[in-house]
């Protein structure tokens, strides 16, 4: 006669609150010694959080709704901030930490700092807002307002309104989360202005290229201790330090770092030349960003008038149509959210 021995393994998952409730129940004491607990924290990367929301929306009855660019990112920023713990590292704040966790470079910090932060807390990510809450709030906003397109402001407003109804957050947590909503809003404001900036600068691309070439001429003269010849008068002049700094400051290049940045640009130009490639406006991402920001600053009054006027003239209307088309064709906007974006950025510039 043979004896049959069966080994069984049961895999289950739950949230932390329910787990603690289960453990505290004395009726379950016999099971505790037979359990292997594996804490799985929430995701801590903004870009991955966006993907989670996109996947959940595609699986829901909201997949026919157009979601404006940066809407899910704004929600993801809020969610991740609620999950992160404050770092003890000097000069670090939640937004910088969030950026580093998502693989972005933050000035003044290195990969070693990132690893140190990741090891600061063993329970980081075990609390905070969960993805299901975000999706439920987006769904609620769509139902309440009967929208066919939802933007970042709609999403953040829905997340904020839902905090009063959230059953498991304390009053202190609510205040903290409201602050994170404000932070996410500021991040979106910057993204929105940058989006419109890119679309508008395209209409002034020739101006951007001229500014780009002018900057290169000046940094070459600066690094070579030489003069610049005025094309109109033939007069030799010193490099235009004010022009160079007005561009470099757009991307946070400090006075101490300007020389290294300019030399790095010239090295890049030389490298392109050796390879038989042309160094152009699109060859250096940071420099292009600086040029666009500088041009956008110079054009701010034009953008402000164009985006906020109630009765645009023929030229303004042409610009609005060009920018709207670019937002739709290249940035994923629909006619509704493209126009909402322009109005919103116009209001930001008028503050």
Instruction: Note the pTM of the prediction, 2 decimals.
Output: 0.76
pLDDT at 79: 97
Measured torsion, CA atoms of residues 186, 188, 191, 196, in degrees rounded to the nearest 10: -100
**DSSP character for 264?**
H
Q: Are 299 and 203 in contact (CB under 8 A)?
A: no
Q: Where are the beta strands (DSSP E) in the chain?
A: 66-67, 149-150, 228-229, 236-237
Beta-strand pair 236-237/228-229? antiparallel
| pLDDT in 10s for each residue of the chain, 351 residues | 677 777 788 888 887 778 888 888 888 788 777 888 888 899 999 999 999 999 998 888 888 889 999 999 999 999 999 999 999 999 999 999 999 999 998 878 999 999 999 999 999 999 899 999 999 998 888 776 677 789 999 999 999 999 988 877 888 999 999 999 999 999 999 999 888 877 877 666 777 888 888 899 999 999 999 988 876 777 888 989 999 999 999 988 999 999 999 999 999 888 888 888 888 877 888 888 888 888 877 777 777 767 766 677 777 778 788 888 989 998 899 999 998 998 898 888 776
* Residues forming a β-bridge with 229: 236
pLDDT at 309: 66
Within 8 A by CB and 6+ apart from 5, the residues are none
pLDDT at 74: 97
What six digits make up the tokens of 312? 């645009």
pLDDT at 1: 63
pLDDT at 308: 66
pLDDT at 153: 94
pLDDT at 166: 80
What six digits make up the tokens of 30? 């016999």
Please state the domain extents for the chain.
Answer: 46-190, 202-349
């Amino acid at each position: 006669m043979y004896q049959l021995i069966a080994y069984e393994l049961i895999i289950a998952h739950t949230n932390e609150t329910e787990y603690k409730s289960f453990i505290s129940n004395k009726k379950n004491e016999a099971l505790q010694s037979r359990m292997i607990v594996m804490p799985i924290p929430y995701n801590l990367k903004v870009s991955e959080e966006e993907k989670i929301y996109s996947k959940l929306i595609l699986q829901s009855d909201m997949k026919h709704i157009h979601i404006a660019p940066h809407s899910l990112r704004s929600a993801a920023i809020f969610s991740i901030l609620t999950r992160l713990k404050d770092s003890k590292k000097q000069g670090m704040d939640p937004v910088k930490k969030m950026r580093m966790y998502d693989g972005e470079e933050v000035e003044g910090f290195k990969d070693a700092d990132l690893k140190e932060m990741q090891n600061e807390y063993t329970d980081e990510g075990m609390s905070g807002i969960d993805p299901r809450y975000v999706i439920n709030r987006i769904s609620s906003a769509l139902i309440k307002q009967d929208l066919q397109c939802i933007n970042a402001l709609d999403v953040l407003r829905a997340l904020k309104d839902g905090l009063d109804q959230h059953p498991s957050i304390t009053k202190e947590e609510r205040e903290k989360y409201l602050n994170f909503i404000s932070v996410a809003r500021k991040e979106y404001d910057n993204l929105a202005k940058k989006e419109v900036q890119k679309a508008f600068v395209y209409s002034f691309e020739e101006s951007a290229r001229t500014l780009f070439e002018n900057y290169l001429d000046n940094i070459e003269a600066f690094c070579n201790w030489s003069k610049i010849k005025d094309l109109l008068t033939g007069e030799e002049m010193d490099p235009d330090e004010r022009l160079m700094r007005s561009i470099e400051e757009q991307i946070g290049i400090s006075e101490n770092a300007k020389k290294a940045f300019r030399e790095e640009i010239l090295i890049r130009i030389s490298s392109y030349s050796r390879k038989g490639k042309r160094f152009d406006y699109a060859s250096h991402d940071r420099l292009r960003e600086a040029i666009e920001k500088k041009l956008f600053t110079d054009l701010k009054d034009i953008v402000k008038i164009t985006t906020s006027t109630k009765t645009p003239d023929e030229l303004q209307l042409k610009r609005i149509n060009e920018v709207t088309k670019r937002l739709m064709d290249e940035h994923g906007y629909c006619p509704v959210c493209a126009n909402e974006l322009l109005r919103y950025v116009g209001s930001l510039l008028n503050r």
